[in-house]
């Protein structure tokens, strides 16, 4: 048992520990139930729980959440549009996000899926310094998609 002044009292029967906590006007809290014997502490439960929630909130503020961003390409995309979308992909990767790149096929474009694969390869080569392929290009229906993950060590999970 540990008292309110952080002094270790030693092994004490439960009733005696409860009496000491009541005399101090504080609560008896089990800190480490897995230990043998369990470790209990005399403290003000309200202050203790408030500090714990503040620590958790502080930890959440520092935590960087990554999200999945999606960029869609058409097979007949112009060079300028391609460069704008490529810049957006680079921005997402620099922020530490995961980017899902999709190529959509319309009508007879399905006969030329190799063009979609070459477009994804061109994108991959353009952002190779910032990312690695998390999911290789796969086709499902009229869509060809791959997933890129940022290699920025400071921003990933």
Task: Catalogue all structural domains in the chain, each as residue range(s) with its CATH number.
Answer: 14-62 (3.10.20.80), 68-150 (3.30.110.10)
What pLDDT sits at residue 2? 86
Alpha-carbon gap, residue 70 to 148, rounded angstroms? 10
Longest dimension (CA), the chain: 84
Tell which residue, 140, 101, 105, 95, has the closest CA to residue 123: 101
Task: Give the pLDDT confidence of 85-136 residue by residue, as tens digits.
Answer: 999 999 999 888 899 999 999 988 888 889 999 999 999 999 989 889 999 9
Cα 71 to Cα 83, 90, 151: the distances in Å are 12, 11, 18
Binned at pLDDT 50, 70 and 90, residue 148 comes out as: very high
Residues 6+ away with beta carbon under 8 Å from 103? 72, 73, 74, 75, 116, 119, 120, 143, 144, 145
Task: Give the pLDDT confidence of 80-89 residue by residue, as tens digits.
Answer: 999 999 999 9
Tokens of 150: 């940022």
């Amino acid at each position: 048992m540990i008292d309110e002044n952080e002094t270790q009292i030693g092994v004490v029967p439960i009733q005696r520990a409860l009496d000491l906590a009541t005399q101090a006007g504080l609560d008896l809290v089990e800190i480490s139930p897995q230990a043998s014997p369990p470790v209990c502490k005399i403290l003000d439960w309200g202050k203790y729980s408030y500090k714990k929630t503040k620590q958790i909130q502080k930890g959440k503020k520092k935590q960087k959440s990554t999200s999945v961003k999606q960029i869609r390409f058409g097979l007949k995309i112009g060079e300028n549009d391609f460069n704008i979308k490529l810049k957006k992909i680079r921005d997402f990767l620099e922020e530490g996000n995961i980017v899902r790149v999709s190529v959509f096929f319309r009508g007879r474009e399905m006969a030329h899926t190799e063009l979609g694969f070459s477009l994804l390869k061109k994108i991959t080569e353009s952002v190779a310094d910032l990312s690695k392929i998390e999911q290789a290009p796969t086709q499902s229906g009229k869509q060809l998609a791959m997933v890129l993950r940022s290699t920025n060590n400071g921003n990933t999970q």
